[in-house]
Amino acid sequence: MPPDRSSSLSVLLLDPRRHRSHRYLHSIAEAPDISLVGCARDLTQAYNSTEHEHPDLVLLAEEVTRLGNFPMYAAMLAALEIDCIVIAAGHRAAPGPFSSATDAEIDRAGGLGPFLAARCGLRRMAAPTGPISGRATGWKTVVIGASTGGVEALIRVLSDYPETGPPTLIVQHISANFLPGLAQRLDRHCAATVRPAAASDTLAPGLVLLAPGNDRHLSVVAPGNRCRLTPGAPVSGHRPSVDVLFHSAAALGPDAVGVLLTGMGRDGAEGLAAMRRAGSWTIGQDEASSTVYGMPRAAHQMGAVAQQLSITRIGSALLSAAAQSTERSRHG
């Protein structure tokens, strides 16, 4: 019988240690929102299962990453845009470009099933029966890009959010060392929850996710119910790139709202233009309130900005746009 793919998250497990994989399999089986599509013991099995099943997420033991042919498998995951979590033994997270977890973290969560449910946001969802679009949550998906001067601008925008505001993804150009502190600072100023994104996070009202670190790009997966973190070269001079996030959101069409805030350069301009062409509502920060009127200027000059506003008005404007019906947004 084919696996049940109506669940929120389909998972492939790659672990050569039989006793540990059995423990994980039992825990996943008890999680109603997770569908196990395969259990591989080596990379050959993993190649075949990944190609055939195309899971949302691959869980793999840290020792697999040290095999000589693992880079080829990692390239396959990147090409197929499949998220990955490396499970490390003990208490120390695995190094490398992928998200990681430890046996200790998983045990504290009560097993792999509960760990994944919490990590990927499944507990926020009420008995899903299929993919959840932005309209099903009552909000469109909001994507925001910022660079120089963006921290204060984001504080001003997010301070307008209600506790159950629109699901939001943010790329802020910032050193990875400062990202945890930024997330905590924004969370203090926002009634919704603000935190760094994790692999296969499920988007939900009241959740604002920041691109984590400088080693992966953040994107949204249509129909807008999940985010994705993928390694890759810098785009528009940056990793994470605002353009990557905005181009992915363009696939949502009228069910997305794009916002480009203060920043140097032009990262995000092309992506915002793609969003506007796809029917998304787009907002740009004006010159007077921008610390550096670079990114929003580039977007405005190429016709990507539907609404140019002072930073003091952007929060309420994006909430209004995110709450509008698709039909209304099409007609402005």
In the chain, pLDDT over 90 holds for what percent of residues? 47
Active site residue 147: yes
Give the model confidence (pLDDT) of 27-38 as tens digits: 776 666 787 788
> Catalytic: which of 247, 267, 280, 329?
267
Q: What is the pLDDT of residue 311?
A: 96
Active site residue 10: no
Q: Specify the CATH architecture of the domain 135-330.
A: 3-Layer(aba) Sandwich (3.40)
Q: What is the pLDDT of residue 82?
A: 83
Active site residue 267: yes
Question: Is the Cβ–Cβ distance between 294 and 265 less than 8 Å?
Answer: yes
**4 pLDDT exceeds 50?**
no
Domain segments of the chain as ranges: 9-124, 135-330
pLDDT band at 88 (very low <50, low <70, confident <90, very high): confident
Please give the C-alpha separations between residue 190 and each of 146, 171, 201, in angstroms, as whole numbers.
Answer: 17, 17, 19
Is pLDDT larger for residue 254 or for residue 112? 254
Instruction: Please name which of 69, 68, 49 lies closest in space to residue 59, comparing C-alpha atoms.
Output: 49
pLDDT, average across residues 207-225: 88
Please give the C-alpha separations between residue 9 and each of 31, 136, 201, in angstroms, as whole numbers.
Answer: 10, 18, 10
- Residue 280, amino acid: S
Q: What is the pLDDT of residue 93?
A: 59
Gap between the Cα atoms of 166 and 193, Å rounded = 11
Gap between the Cα atoms of 172 and 78, Å rounded = 22
**22 pLDDT exceeds 90?**
no
> Catalytic: which of 147, 200, 241, 280?
147
List residues bridging with 12 in a β-sheet: 38, 58
Q: Hey, which CATH number is domain 9-124, 3.10.310.10, 3.40.50.300, 3.40.50.150, 3.40.50.2300?
A: 3.40.50.2300
Gap between the Cα atoms of 285 and 259, Å rounded = 8
| Fold match, 9-124 / 135-330 | yes
**132 pLDDT exceeds 50?**
no
> Catalytic: which of 173, 217, 247, 300?
173
Structure tokens at 156: 């001003």
